[in-house]
Amino acid sequence: MVRTKGAWALVATVLVAGACTKPPPTSASDGGADASAAGDAAGRLEVLATIARAEDDRRADEVPARAPIDHDVAIRRRAMRALARIGEAGSEAALLRGLADEDEQTAGWAAYGLGWACKGHEEPRVRALAARAASLGEPASDGGVARSRDAIDARMAVARAVGRCGGALAEQVLAAWVRAPGAGDGTSPAASQRGDDWGERAALALGDIAGRHGHLEAETQAALADAATATPPLDAALYPFGRLERVDDALAPRVVAAAHAALARAGERRSFAIRALSRSGREAVADLVRVVESKDFSAAERAEAARGLRQLGEPGRLGAAEALGRLTPDKDPVAITGLGGDEFGVLRSLVGSLGDEAPRSAEPALGALSVLRPPGEVPAPLARRLAELRCAAAGELARGAYDADVLAHCDGDGTSEAAERARLGALARRQIVKDRRAAWIALTRSPHVRVSEAALELIGDHPELADAARAAILAALGSDRPGVVTTAAEIVHAHPDRVLALSEKEKRAALDPNAPPPTANPAREVDADLAQALGAALAHPWSEDLVETRAALLDAAVAVHLKGARDAALRACHDPNVTMREHAVKALRVESEALPVCDRATAQVDGGAPRADAGAAEGSPPLPHPTKVTFATDAGDLSITFEPELSPMAAARFVALARAGFYRGVVVHRVVPAFVVQLGDPGGDGYGGSGSLLRCETSPVPFARLDVGVALAGRDTGSSQLFVALSRVPHLDGDYARIGQAAGDWDAVAEGDVINDVKVEE
């Protein structure tokens, strides 16, 4: 389809209001450091240090008021970065001023900040961002000089901010940019593949909207399909389709055709085609099976395709069975040994895509996998991977029979984590009653923390557990394992009915022969023992970085109207952590509180002293340069180079932890092939950390394959956990701090792999 020159007409209309609006003038008072002081080196450093402290303390009012208009571009950039990361509503005027800055790095940071604080101001922000987009055009030639990895792409920042704002106007503007001349067909094919146009940026932003809502308007999907099938094609236009719940049926054939063609073009955008196929119906199955089976694709791409088959219902499950039959190594010793590398993720993803009831056609391959044994003595990591495959296959063959022989013998005496997880999966497929209930209770007490948590999670889908569920939650709330406590609290919050029992009044009435007959809806209340356990867990002095645990307990207490829940929420209003304060606000709304007690401007502590966010207490000085850390793991030597430019506090924290030996003996607790490897929790389940929190240092920069980020459970909840991206993952852009770049075969890592040693290159 030819993209008409009139495609920018809508954008031009949108710009009228935004382009004519100017932010209010800057106050004459600068609250301290003055831009004039930046005329000498000492004054400049003082201003930059003041801005850094304001960013760390999350105090927008401490950013010198003249900094956003200082003649020194470095000061303007740092001021916009600080205001963007602080994210206060009162910073809008300064951010709008920064958006108009002639320095595109400054404008990019301002756009990022406006997108973050867009709620309630969507249309005005979209208009302002669209106005700035019209004046940006394309960047001047770099003369062959490599672009800094940490440089902000102002055009990308503006487009993604529009996507973050969302709404009908944002979707229309972004769709117009996708259709516009130069959005893929105004440059050479090579330039289009590099993403040197607005179409690429707009497509990623539409993916942000699709990811939040699960759908896009039919007209928007059509614009994306046109771009994906144009000459030359815009491969990024396939990305939003992979974020939808399902591609529009009328457009699915075109999307499949565009994705099929894109598979022939190697590069990071090929993963977009694979993800789009997983949302495009049964016609996409053949292409996904081809990707899974072909060594022309990377292990990450093949695992992505294997996982995508599960999204396509019965045809996808049959496709997974077909591929599994051809890839199962059976007794080939070379192929079995190869499962110690990245081939493991592909095969494991295929087994997972067979669904709750594996097709009968998969049984021969599953049978071969269930008895797969290593050729003689092999390293422990390979033995563990083979046990995982055997037990996963056995779980499929058991078809809900938790005590089937094939499960009992999949790994030693059946007490390994792999064996218990497979047994739990079998229990989940049928009602958990009688002997099955006893087996489930045993698994809630498993020494393998993730098995125990997964067993507790079944309570939400199995109301037949009744009293057994309450007893398991009671025991879990008294655990010393934060993840187990958190899981139990989350169940109470999501399913408060699971912890209710007959009220004492109803019990007395049942024993009174003179009492009226019971009603159809007898009064219920939280079990007294459980209420006591929940209260004790809520009052426990959890370390500050266990925000998930503390927030889950508060949410649970409010959900069941626990005595003291309101007071706990009021205390949480003054918590130094913003995520805890957000939970407190929600809790007080549930309790019908109308007081603005959690408003930063009015919150008071200890008899009236203003509450200020506590800065991240970093004992280590900033890194003077990128620092390489090598992890000796079960999967081989893997490295991360921590980069301090965008995330100085986080980079310093992780290197300091590495120097102190924190990561020695830590297991990799999460691996999603083609997505992420995550590590850094000493407890091994993803709920723990180093004991202290990190401020978020998020930035509007992309997460490409092997980029490293700080794992979070909400704003300012970083600690010691990090993740390595295994493919291009645009939905992580801007939401997580990028702290470095990894090297090595991270695709070969599996859950349970241990970090045996750590070396920091000084």
| Residues in a beta bridge with 638 | 631
Closest CA to 299 of 341, 336, 270: 341
Say yes or no to pLDDT of 353 above 50.
yes
Position 627 confidence tier, pLDDT thresholds 50, 70, 90 = very high
More confident residue, 124 or 525: 124
pLDDT at 40: 81
Residue 373 pLDDT exceeds 90? no
pLDDT in tens, 633-668: 999 999 999 999 999 999 999 999 999 999 999 999
Cα(742)–Cα(59) distance, rounded to whole angstroms? 33
Q: Which of 57, 56, 58, 79 is nearest to 67 (CA)?
A: 79
Q: Is pLDDT of 144 > 60?
A: no
CATH superfamily of 627-760: Cyclophilin-like (2.40.100.10)
Single pTM value for the model: 0.89
Give the strand pairing for 627-633 and 755-760: antiparallel
Q: What pLDDT is attached to residue 137?
A: 67
DSSP state of 627: E
Closest CA to 710 of 734, 674, 746, 684: 734
Please count the other Cβ atoms lying within 10 Å of the Cβ belonging to residue 31. 15
Q: Which residues contact 300 (CB under 8 A, 6 or more apart)?
A: 271, 342, 673, 674, 705, 726, 727, 747
Provide the CA 663 distance to its chain's centre, in angstroms.
22
pLDDT, position 599: 57
Q: What is the mean pLDDT of residues 231-256?
A: 95
Pairing of strands 524-526, 707-710: unpaired
The Cα 392–Cα 386 span in angstroms is 10
Q: Which of 45-54, 295-304, 506-515, 641-650 has the lowest mean pLDDT?
A: 506-515
| Rounded Cα distance, 425 and 402, in Å | 8
498 contacts 464 by C-beta, under 8 angstroms: no
Tokens at 512, concatenated: 């009174």
Domain ranges (residues) in the chain: 5-139+149-257, 281-430, 627-760
**Which top CATH class is 5-139+149-257?**
mainly alpha
Structure tokens at 7: 């495609």
User: Once rounded to an integer, what is the mean pLDDT over residues 541-568?
Assistant: 94
Please report the pLDDT score of residue 138 as a whole number: 64
Q: Measuring CA to CA, how many Å separate 762 from each of 625, 645, 738?
A: 10, 18, 21
Please compute the mean of the pLDDT values over residues 423-435 and round it to a whole number: 96
- The yes-or-no verdict on residue 241 having pLDDT over 50 is yes
Q: Is 219 within 8 Å of 237 (Cβ atoms)? A: no
Q: Distance of alpha carbon 192 from its chain centroid, rounded?
A: 28
Please list the alpha-helical segments (H only) found in 249-332: 252-262, 270-277, 285-293, 299-309, 313-327
Average of pLDDT values for 507-514?
Answer: 66
**How far is residue 154's CA from residue 172's CA, in Å, rounded to a whole number?**
20
Given a cut of 90, whether residue 520 has pLDDT beyond it is no
39-45 mean pLDDT? 82
